Structure 1
Amino acid sequence: MPLANPHRSLPSLSIIIPMLNEAAGIQATLTRLQALRSSNVELIVVDGGSTDTSVALAAPLADTVVRSEPGRARQMNLGAQHAHAPALLFLHADTQFPLGEEQRAMASLEQALARHAWGRFDVRLAGRSRWLPLVATLMNLRSRLSGIATGDQGMFLRRDTFVALGGFPDQPLMEDVELSKRLKPHSPPACLRQKVISSGRRWDEFGAWPTIRLMWRLRYRYWRGVSATQLAKEYRHAR
């Protein structure tokens, strides 16, 4: 059963955050978003079976905490089912807006959805590797050229479009890429220059260039038709 705050008017935006064992950072992510809750923004956290204190830490800082089967696509789809706003923003648990930029980002999102069915922010990666600025630049450029967004970039869209497309496909990897492909016929994405800050922990942990090569190989193989299930196995093995 979800834990929810019943004393809220209908929000203008629902922010949906999937998490799994994010006790180290979920408080920081949600604390950054608290000012938005007084600006008619709803925060929904969807836990995929955490074994740490993630749920207890998130509950006081969110409007709704939902427990879900594991799997980011499933978690985000379940969060959308509990959302009350006409616009949805999917934000990873380790992704934040720059301090003090939250309200401006929401205004840009609202303006973008008046012209586009969906969009995303540019991303900046935070971490130790000196290659992270280059990685982020390439991610933003690739997204702008291809019209494909990734979850690290904070995907947002109109709720009616999301529902009409059936939400994220129930697959263990590349759910953001697949949803982007389905959204493109509705409208090109709004590629906002404003940045979200996402953790570069996977590049730090496994090495920048090995991670870059792995991600590009997985994307190429997905483009060639290899199933997301097979690619998820390869991803876990490589890590």
Structure 2
Amino acid sequence: MVGKSARALTATKSFSTSDVQSSSNKVPVSALKPKTCLTCGRMITPRAKWAKDWDGIKYCSDRCRSTRPGKVVATFRASAYSMQVLTQYPGAECHAGVVRVDIETFVEGALLVVAKQPGGGLLEDAQNRIRDLLVSAPIPTGADDQTRTRSNTDDDQDAQPTLAGNDNGSHLDILWQALDSPPGFRERIRRAARRLSLGITHESALHQTYVTTTQAGSIELLQSGKTLRTVQDLSFAKGVIHLEIKKRRPNQSQIPDQDRE
């Protein structure tokens, strides 16, 4: 009886010690640094429910996780001319008469075209460019015949939701549905611009969540003439936003001595 009590006492002490250690390992929310969402390019503010696995957080919401780059793809049959028009941008591939469009890559391509123009342009210019592209291709519509399929579920991080068109010429609607699917066409353009500005690639690597400046970006975003340089700036920017290709500054070591003064 005495032995049993001793074992119980030892177990109780062990449990108490473990509980104390567990409590001491919890990191207070105030000690966590904000991160960047790999889909929308906005700042992720630390929350208590994420504190335990803060290092593993890559997306600010379930929607951003389920619509991250590479997840939304439109596939359809097209004419030779339509394929030529659509595949002028990255993200659109064709094989045996079937076009496959990775929506996020496609949108980023349109943004880069606008950014490389003399003087750049507005985010709305990229929207209009894509709209004009869809109109310029002789693609028949057939909303009544379209089908929409999604592989597995949004919560499956390895699944690739796909918008698939029938062979009867309904794919314009399918492509537009993909472009305008949540979070919507306008926000899809803006979040792609934030990713390009921050230099976030599609590899979904954890280390990119700690990118909080635009130093590695390929484009610059400006609002009212002011360059947006941090993820915080990008997160709260609203209204008209200008974009242009980033002006690379030469490395000091590459500048001739006579030009450094």
| TM-score above 0.5 | no
TM-score, length-scaled by structure 1: 0.27
Please say which structure displays the higher CA radius of gyration: 2
Bigger strand fraction? 1
